[in-house]
Chains A and B, each alone.
Chain A
Amino acid sequence: GIQVEQSPPDLILQEGANSTLRCNFSDSVNNLQWFHQNPWGQLINLFYIPSGTKQNGRLSATTVATERYSLLYISSSQTTDSGVYFCAVAIMDSNYQLIWGAGTKLIIKP
């Protein structure tokens, strides 16, 4: 089945720093999403981005489907950005089943 790999697994930054999180996937997908899980466990959908670039405030994401990767950029990090960031994809013949990466754990220190 399709493999989803996220890097780095852990990232510790000072408040105000910028970061780039990467998601690689092993097969063609027609659906890619980024999620944030806060330290209390709540999961929030950040981006639906099967291709191209999107921006939402300090966060932006780019997916290059032909090269099978996606990047999540966080600028001017704040302590509230801490948590785990997940990438999830759906394969071409099953748009219902999101396959999730293991996540990148981000800690922003004040």
Chain B
Amino acid sequence: NAGVTQTPKFRVLKTGQSMTLLCAQDMNHEYMYWYRQDPGMGLRLIHYSVGEGTTAKGEVPDGYNVSRLKKQNFLLGLESAAPSQTSVYFCASSYIAATYGYTFGSGTRLTVV
């Protein structure tokens, strides 16, 4: 099925461990985004990419790194996980910057203990 696929769906990390979240889209979208969602809040933008090989910081980038080596993939890395990074992470993509056609993955629930 066409869309945005996130892996893994769930993960528990110990403080200080590292991990990479993978986002893959098959809609040939130029723009990709990583968000985090905390209880009772809207989404907050972590990093985004406007095309292959580009990345930029969003609203809450500290503690995260990203890479977009291929147009269809956008990776989010946590180098040294902290309990404050416990959250649900959503990847999204769009054909035109932040306009209609904005498609989300199903989310990754990350717990840092």
Chains A and B bind each other: yes
Q: Is the CB of B101 within 8 A of A45?
A: yes
Query: Nearest Cβ in chain A — how far from B80, in angstroms?
Result: 26
Of the candidates B40, B41, B59, B98, which one forms a contact with A95 in the assembled complex, judged by CB atoms under 8 Å apart?
B98
Q: Is the CB of B98 within 8 A of A31?
A: yes
Number of interface residues of B (CB under 8 A): 26
- 10 closest Cβ contacts across the A-B interface? A100-B42, A48-B100, A43-B104, A95-B97, A45-B102, A100-B43, A90-B98, A96-B97, A41-B107, A98-B98
- In the complex, the chain B residue whose C-beta lies closest to that of A101 is B42
Residue pairs across A and B with Cβ atoms less than 8 A apart, 15 shown, are A41-B88, A41-B107, A42-B104, A42-B107, A43-B90, A44-B104, A45-B101, A90-B98, A95-B98, A96-B31, A96-B48, A97-B48, A97-B58, A98-B43, A102-B40
Q: Which of A51-103 contact B (CB under 8 A)?
A: 86, 88, 90, 95-103
- In the complex, the chain A residue whose C-beta lies closest to that of B104 is A43
Q: List residues of chain A with CB under 8 Å of any chain B CB.
A: 4, 31, 33, 35, 41-45, 48, 86, 88, 90, 95-103
Measured in the bound complex, the distance between the Cα atoms of B42 and A4 in whole Å is 10
- Provided the pairs A41-B106, A41-B107, A102-B40 are in contact, do residues A97 and B100 lie with their beta carbons within 8 angstroms? no
